[in-house]
Copies of this chain bind each other. A is one copy, B any other.
Amino acid sequence: MSVINQPIRLGMVGGGQGAFIGAVHRIASRMDGQYQLVAGALSSNPDRARASGEELGFEPDRIYTDFNEMAEQEANRPDGIEVVAIVTPNHMHFAPVKAFLEAGIHVICDKPLTATLEEAQALAQIKPVNNARFLLTHNYTGYPMIRLAREMVAAGKIGKIRLVQVEYLQDWLAEDVSNKQADWRTDPARSGAGGAIGDIGTHAYNLLRFVTDLIPAQISAELDNFVPGRKLDDNAQMMLRFEGGAKGMLWASQVATGCENDLSIRIYGDKGGLEWSQKDCNSLWFTELDQPRQQLRRGGPAPIDFEWPIRVPPGHPEGYLEAFANLYQDFARILYGEQGYTVVPGMSDGLEGLIFIQAAIRSSQNNGIWQDLNILEEPFTSF
């Protein structure tokens, strides 16, 4: 808690009135008192930028409509922002990320990293000024039970992994809807070449990678757009082959009626199994061979030493916002050079996400042919 007395000065690009993920980032930044949001280019529309900035209490001269100007001016202010959160639609990630890293300002960016693989590759080549750091908010890695799962896998509690199944099912695009959220996410110009595969498939893929540390070698994918007139996939299913022989399946859908944000992962090794679902995010099921199923609970007894990243004791549910805030908290620790959980998603994870999207699209376009992923980077180490 020693970081609160001097909150980190935070800026934001995107996230004006009516935005979803911008509001989430703001709550996450506030929860532990470690950040203070003081500046923003919340919209490219001047009126909306001003109204949004005033609502958040920014000084007038720190309400921007141009992120380049913001990066330049904030970098030169003695009280300038130390970190910026980029919460624009996917196609508007590349330019501001580049601008702020090159201005020596740390960046927190929503996923996916960019709209295209080429942009991601370009970003990965950037040399940040002043050792600016980068966090990609693959927020599901912030769930305490997911982190416990990762540590248990690493500690060998389920042995050598044989099988992984991960899925992320929604139903909000089961019909031809039109609203602020749906519009950009179903528009290739703003979302990139992937629909469900980019919006939620990358989350599922990242979760799988985070928990298992398996290296995906190849995927065979089917992408569909079931709603007439839709330009991007609203359902993605695939099989995966991992280095070392493990196999897997991944399913991302926006048309699974009755599902909300049903993200789940199941992992089976030669000594045990682990199962987690966001529906009951405070539990992790663990079964060792020939032993009863155990329902591990957030903050409760665990089969390994584990420092719980939690705020309230067992039985008082924590959820999505707390998990999201854990990434903000970790990033603050990294910036302060403090001890803490530093295995957070970074630039290489973002690049890998785009590789994944492209491979899935290519496989689907080629009748499901197995597509190499060629993952080279070291993931989960902040840039």
A residues neighboring B (CB under 8 Å)? 1-2, 4-7, 17, 20, 23-24, 26-27, 30-33, 37, 54-57, 158, 162-163, 165, 170-172, 174-175, 220, 222, 224, 226, 235, 237-239, 241, 245, 247, 249, 251, 253, 255-262, 266, 268-273, 275, 278-282, 285-297, 300-303, 311-322, 367-368, 370
Contact = CB atoms under 8 A, between A and B. Distances in A.
B287 A4 contact: no
B237 A247 contact: yes
A230 to B, nearest CB: 12
A256 to B, nearest CB: 5
A368 to B, nearest CB: 6
A290 B301 contact: yes
A269 B171 CA distance: 11
Contacts of A247: 222, 224, 235, 237
B368 A239 contact: yes
Given A174-B270, A320-B316, A292 B295 contact: yes
A318 to B, nearest CB: 5
Nearest to A52: B1
Contact of A171 (B175, B253, B273, B286): B273
Given A2-B55, A237-B247, 6 more contacts: A30-B30, A163-B255, A257-B272, A282-B319, A292-B302, A319-B319
Contacts of A56: 4-5, 33
B293 A273 contact: no
A273 B257 contact: yes
A26 B30 CA distance: 10
A317 B315 contact: no
A311 B112 CA distance: 22
